[in-house]
Amino acid sequence: MKFIIGIGGVTNGGKTTLTNRLLKTLPNCCVVHQDDFFKKPDQIEVGDDGFRQWDVINAIDMEAMVSTVKGWQENPVKFALSHGVSMSPESTSEEGIHILIVEGFLIYNYKPLIDVYDKCFYISIPYEECKKRRSTRTYTLPDPPGLFDGHVWPMYLRHRKEMEDNCERIAYLDGMTSKDDIYNKVYESFQNGVLNNL
């Protein structure tokens, strides 16, 4: 059995924290991080707002990301082994359960990916908290002054509306609740989803 979980959300909302916890507890679990598919900085356009357009779908090599997800779908055992994921003995064949987490901020904004998810989650936090968390993060390329208000948050609002119009199966999670509460909701939903697919 193959099961794909989407973990989407606003920047600095807790997607990676949740994903890492799920990776430790779910059996035969692999992850595809959307951030791993960002194009090189010189390929990122500068928009009318004066900022490099990192927070748009064109900044990500989505075809490569879809290809990676398809690689897992075709052979989750080979994918897991090639990515250093330890497998339970019963799952080294196609028997047993194989789980893929697709994590990122625009994972519900690309039509070829929308239909692959068995469960869709989206973590949101309010503007002030998001801005505060973002200001404490260290990025390889530091945020220029004004980026959050001039680009990041407006793009988030635009893409969230687009996502809501494209994908109706999303379970929304309040990123202001405890990490344990968020994890428990996702884990319980995953367990129910697996039982329903047996």
DSSP 3-state of 172: strand
Spatial contact of 106 and 37, defined as CB atoms under 8 Å apart: no
Please count the residues of the chain: 198
The single residue of 35, 49, 149, 181 carrying the catalytic annotation is: 35
Residues 6+ apart with CB under 8 A from 145: none
First to last CA, the chain: 8
The answer to whether 165 is a known catalytic residue is no
Token code pair at residue 186: 């996702």
Residue 57: closest CA among 66, 48, 49:
66
Residue 32 and residue 101: Cα distance in Å, rounded? 6
- Residues recognised as catalytic: 35
